[in-house]
Chain A
């Protein structure tokens, strides 16, 4: 909402202290987005008269204009606009004038012929938004006079307010003035003007068929209308408030809307057939709106129809072309109505026709401000139509559904103080609320002091006690409510899970991986390209773009895209990770009816192999104190089937470690191996590791020996290790695979595995015989797996 300083002063003596007014408005919740200086007079621009014009054979785009600037002398000016006629008054920026854009007017000429100034357009002077042609001034101005003082234009400013949804009243000057007046203790009154001449009764019958959607409809006939331009002051106000002046009838309607937050619509009374009927559309009906478009209507659209039931307008949204006022209109039928907001919103949104008017109906207009609006319209129109007559006998249908002039809401004093932390009395609260036009009455005999508040009809937002508490707070002043840090009775901390997540991040970062945040929305096909199914992926019902219409079920597609991006930018050492949610659809009986969303961690490195991925897992599992078995028998789709393993713990699957499937790499145009570790964190993080109990460290000597086996490829090193560990028993304190050998001296289908074993007892020195026995047990166990000791 744009508030022009001078216009605001019509509602009360607010003055011109921009700083003070801005601060007050902001403190009330009317956030001042910007303050713009307008109508700043430019020194040196005078009223001049066109004496004659002349073309120059060598200048096609400009002509020569000879003007009289009041001293009777003929001045010559080059001009690129051709819209002036002989005798027109036009603004001349004389030599030496500095224009708002900083240009200095000099005699710089064309073709060696000097120019004695510059003729100005409306936009150059900041007076209109019209850049086409020179501004033609009213005929009655005195030649040579300063244009700005001749037009009575004084420096002004516009406050651009961000009016919140709950304050429909502040979409009008009156609402802003009420709040501001209460804050600054300035008495306010809406401007009215003299009563317009009353005429003989002319009644147009109005029938409201849908009483929920339309609760009041006033139809007043005004004759003596001459459609033409608005007076300059009206045009200037509208322009400064961001509305284009159209003609005196539309402009008067817009002025009323801005002042009182009440849209009106003027029909050409002669084009109205037998009265008005307000009803909802029937399916299949159409209407040609003011903009010439044929609109297909739905049964939720509220229509203004004529007496023959033909649609002539979309209520609150746009009028129809057939009954539009024209240059010939002499009598207008003015509609001033109260429509229910959400219905108007639905129609306006569906048709893409949200306008200043529909927005106001949507948010809420004052159902009891209609009489005022009609009178104000008449006064403003009479400014340009001196013979205007307002006919008596206006239709004014009010339905029972019309909101009351006052709505009573109970307010407990203790509740105000409990929420705001104040010590306000009944009287304090009464004073505050009375200032903004609320009626207050103490409730006698109540157990705790309380008030009955009469909320005026222009404040539809105040429906319950807490709404009134907010009103008290606003007008008491938020900055008066104090700042007290509450004593938290909780102890601030990360939960064990959150601490584990941070630890995990720390390890991942220390391993050299950087954190990516790819888009969680995927394109159709992205999952397939990653080797994953789309069957458990959820689709967005209203995606922004087709390429972002699927919710990810894995972090891998996003990271593969990030890898591709970095490869294409020739970045080396691509090590990335993401820690984020994935959203597989899950089962129907899931909690809350929501998908099986969970937190996942994925690490990738380009040009690396499973060895690195396993190293990551070793580090993470030791920090998380969380072991798992490597199961190469079943591998997550999308991982290399022969170089990856599922991480299992019992029935739980923690994730997958290894390399990305070469087929996936090919589909993603990645020409290098990619090591990958993907973990389901819902398992990994939720478990709190047991606190370890200290065991005494053995003080007895240790026997170390190595065993080098030839092991068939069909047998995993893990299986051999497991067998050795079992055979070694409690005395086997260290077991390490420290060498893997393939090549000469071994069968093609086997490799050499060398283990280091350390034997130690906690209570004695192991004898040679004991060591020999254990060693033999180990060899026997290995032999069962076809692991033979190498020579």
Chain B
């Protein structure tokens, strides 16, 4: 056999072996078969590799190069084919797995619930946040109070006729008539004045008690928030300005406020404050006024040096109106079906 023929024959054989390998790769049934095939093709005894030993029989460098190149090209083609085919199988396997893993998520949507804050708490926190933004801090006090802090210090001595309007609940504790459930958050004013020094910018939210038979708009236990500002140079205009700023911050820019004269023993001049909705309707909100000099004195503050104002209103009603609760008693049934709405 001439050497020329031999090269030609080897080349021919390599191409045939290559094509049959490629064909086998193409027709491999799955990843395992492909892997086995890969192993087979890589074996020393494999057909293509056997040509490497044949190369030694060739004497011409040129022939060796020709065959070498041919073998390399075949090997590259085969390994690329295996790689591609492997990719295809992997891809197929993943997409099969994805199809197998199909899930109906609506089966899994459980009724895992978050807890619900009481609407009175929600309203209180909203109010607190607005006043904190206006530079106020929050003061607290006990719900069981002395007659002194609840009345006397607030310019309502023992015989004061206005006391009868508070429907006070007294406790069998200490001297008869000396300890009571606070009828308003105002005793906290006295506590704040005694323990803080002016300037005071404080709000006092909390629970209060009146001896009132419950009905659709009244509860014997309810919540108020009160504000107190004491500093040098505080005037009635500051009171009106604060009420206006609060009204816009809490209810919205299209709300406005007005003060009209009223009477409370602990403030003078006293006022009721109304807010006006965007539709023009006035709603009574609460009471306010300049802190009465006697009350400042009760708090250990010299009324000749400092002036102050105070304001207060009910929180329950705000929550009731905001959520359109028909009957305020509904808010205190502790019925989860009610609580979970908000």
Q: A486-B238, A542-B169 are in contact. Are A29 and B262 (CB under 8 A)?
A: yes
Give the residue name and chain of the A residue nearest to B178 (CB). Answer: A593
Complex contacts, A479 vs chain B, CB 8 Å = 258-259
Q: Is the CB of B135 within 8 A of A569?
A: no
A sample of 9 cross-chain residue pairs with beta-carbon separation below 8 angstroms, ordered by A number, consists of: A342-B159, A419-B307, A421-B237, A493-B132, A495-B137, A576-B334, A581-B143, A597-B143, A597-B144
Q: Name B340's contact: one of A28, A494, A514, A540 (CB within 8 Å).
A: A514
Whether the pair B134, A488 counts as a contact (CB closer than 8 A) is yes
Q: Is residue B252 contacting chain A, with contact meaning CB distance below 8 A?
A: no
B168, closest chain A residue (CB): A542
B79 contacts the other chain (Cβ, under 8 Å)?
no
B111 at the interface (CB under 8 A from A): yes
Q: Mark A565-608, 1 if CB is under 8 A from B, else 0.
A: 11001010111110011010100000011110100000000000
B97 at the interface (CB under 8 A from A): no
Contact with B along A322-365 (1 / 0, CB 8 A): 00000000000000000001100100010000000000001100
A492, B339: Cβ atoms closer than 8 Å: no
Interface SS of B by simple majority: mixed
Q: Would A488 and B290 be within 8 Å (CB), given that A510-B115, A518-B334, A571-B337 are in contact?
A: no
Complex contact A498–B138 (CB within 8 A):
yes
Verify A541–B178 contact, CB threshold 8 A. Answer: no
Query: Which residues in window 177-231 of B have CB below 8 A to A?
Result: 177-179, 181, 199-201, 207, 211-213, 220-221, 229, 231
Extra A-B contacts (10), CB below 8 Å, given A419-B236, A485-B238, A540-B172: A29-B262, A470-B270, A478-B259, A493-B137, A514-B336, A517-B331, A540-B171, A543-B169, A581-B143, A594-B142
Binding-face segment, A12-20, A65-73, A159-167, A290-298 = A159-167
The digit string for A527-550, where 1 denotes a CB below 8 A from any CB of B, is 000000000001111111000100
A77 at the interface (CB under 8 A from B): no
Q: From known contacts A542-B169, A593-B174, infer whether A517 and B334 are also in contact, taking CB-CB under 8 Å.
A: yes
User: Is B245 in the interface zone, CB < 8 Å from A?
Assistant: yes
Which of A232-240, A247-255, A501-509, A630-638 sits within the interface?
A501-509
- A486 adjacent to B261 (CB under 8 Å): no
* Contact assessment for B136 and A483 in the assembled complex, using a CB-CB cutoff below 8 Å: no
The answer to the question of A445 belonging to the interface, with a C-beta cut-off of 8 Å to chain B, is no
Q: How many residue pairs, one in A and one in B, have C-beta atoms under 8 Å apart?
A: 251
Q: Kindly state whether residue B56 has any CB partner on chain A within 8 Å.
A: no
Given A31-B272, A474-B269, the answer on whether A575 and B337 have CB atoms closer than 8 Å is no
Interface residue? A420 (CB, 8 A): yes
Interface residues on B, range: 35 or more
Residues of chain A lying within 8 A (CB to CB) of residue B281: none
Q: Contact check, A573 vs B111: say whether CB atoms are below 8 A apart.
A: yes
**Which of chain B's residues 117-134 have a Cβ closer than 8 Å to chain A?**
117-118, 120-121, 125, 128, 131-134
Contact A517–B135 (Cβ < 8 Å): no
Quick one: given A466-B292, A485-B242, are A164 and B263 in contact (CB under 8 Å)? yes
Question: Are A473 and B179 neighbours in the complex by a CB distance under 8 Å?
Answer: no
Known: A345-B161, A485-B238, A565-B335. A511 touches B171 (CB 8 A): no
- Inter-chain contact A27/B260, CB cutoff 8 Å: yes
Q: How far is the CA of A569 from the CA of B336 in the complex (A)?
A: 10
A561 contacts which chain B residues (CB < 8 A)? Answer: 334
A483 adjacent to B244 (CB under 8 Å): yes
CB pair B236–A473 under 8 Å, yes or no, is: yes
A482-B240, A484-B238, A490-B201 given; A594·B132 CB < 8 A: no
List B contacts of A473 (CB < 8 A): 236, 261, 269
Q: Are A575 and B237 in contact (CB under 8 A)?
A: no
A494 contact set on B, CB distance < 8 A: 128, 132, 138
Docked-complex contact A519 and B258, CB < 8 angstroms: no
Given contacts A419-B307, A479-B258, A492-B135, contact A508 B115 (CB under 8 A): yes
Chain B residues whose C-beta falls within 8 Å of the C-beta of A502 in the assembled complex: 125
Q: Which residue of A lies closest to B269 (CB)?
A: A470
Chain A residues with CB below 8 A from B259, complex form? 478-479
The interface residues of chain B lying within 8 Å CB-to-CB of A418 are: 233, 235, 307
Tell me, yes or no, whether B21 is within 8 Å of chain A by CB. no
| B251 at the binding interface (Cβ < 8 Å) | no
> Is A772 engaged at the interface, CB distance under 8 Å to the other chain?
no
Given the interface pairs A539-B172, A594-B144, the reply to whether A515 lies near B116 with Cβ below 8 Å is: yes
The interface residues of chain B lying within 8 Å CB-to-CB of A495 are: 137-138
User: How distant is B202 from chain A, measured CB to nearest CB, in Å?
Assistant: 8
Say yes or no: A595 contacts B144, CB within 8 Å.
yes
CA distance A575 to B268 in the complex (A): 48
Pair B293/A466 contact, Cβ less than 8 Å: yes
Is the C-beta of A614 less than 8 angstroms from some C-beta in chain B?
A: no
Confirm or deny: A489 has a beta carbon within 8 angstroms of a beta carbon on chain B.
Answer: yes
List, in ascending order, chain A residues with CB within 8 A of B263's CB. 29, 164-167
Give min CB distance, A420 to chain B, whole Å. 5
Chain B residue numbers with a CB within 8 Å of A362 are 161
User: What are the residues of chain A within 8 A of B161 when measuring CB–CB?
Assistant: 165, 341-342, 345, 362-363
> How does the 8 Å CB contact mask read for A455-486 relative to B, with 1 for contact and 0 for none?
00000000010110110011000110111111
Q: B100 on the interface (CB 8 Å rule)? A: no
- Chain B residues near A26 (CB, 8 Å)? 260
**Alpha-carbon gap, A495 to B195, bound state (A):** 15
A690 on the interface (CB 8 Å rule)? no
Which residues of chain B in 7-58 are interfacial with respect to chain A, using CB atoms and an 8 Å cutoff?
Answer: none
Q: Which residue of B lies closest to A507 (CB)?
A: B115
Q: Is the CB of B173 within 8 A of A538?
A: yes
Contacting residues of chain B (284-321) with chain A, CB-CB under 8 angstroms: 290, 292-293, 307
Minimal beta-carbon separation of A672 from chain B (angstroms): 15
Tell me if A551 counts as interface (CB < 8 A to partner B): yes
A483 near B201 with CB under 8 A, answer no
A515 touches B213 (CB 8 A): no
Contact B199 A488 (CB under 8 A): yes
CB proximity of B302 to chain A, nearest CB, Å: 13
Which A-B residue pairs are the 7 nearest by beta carbons? Answer: A488-B135, A29-B261, A421-B235, A164-B263, A562-B334, A470-B269, A421-B237
- Most chain A CB inside 10 Å of its own CB: which residue of B111, B115, B258: B115
A492 & B171 in contact (Cβ 8 Å cutoff): no
Asked whether A516 is an interface residue with its Cβ less than 8 Å from the other chain, the reply is yes
B337 and A569 contacting across the interface, CB-CB below 8 Å: yes
Interface flag for B176 (CB, 8 Å):
yes
| Distance to closest chain A CB from B119 (angstroms) | 9
Q: Which of A478, A574, A575, A594 contacts B260 (CB 8 A)?
A: A478
Tell me if A784 counts as interface (CB < 8 A to partner B): no
- Known: A29-B261, A486-B231, A511-B115. Contact between A540 and B170, CB under 8 A? yes
Specify which chain A residues have a CB less than 8 angstroms from the CB of B121 in the assembled complex: 505, 515
Residues of A within 8 A of B331 (CB): 517
Q: Are B113 and A595 in contact (CB under 8 A)?
A: no
User: Roughly how many angstroms separate A332 CA and B245 CA in the complex, as a whole number?
Assistant: 61
Contacts A341-B161, A420-B236, A489-B199 known; A538 to B171 CB distance under 8 Å? yes
Q: Does B145 contact A (CB under 8 A)?
A: yes
Question: A464 to B269, alpha carbons, bound, how many Å?
Answer: 12
Q: Determine which of A29, A509, A542 lies in contact with B117 in the assembled complex, contact meaning CB atoms within 8 Å.
A: A509
Do A419 and B334 touch across chains, with their CB atoms under 8 A apart? no
Report Cα–Cα, A29/B269, bound state, in Å: 11
Does B332 make an interface contact (CB < 8 A)?
A: yes
A349 to B307, CA, bound (A): 37
Residues of B233-285 whose CB lies within 8 A of A: 233-238, 240-245, 258-263, 268-272
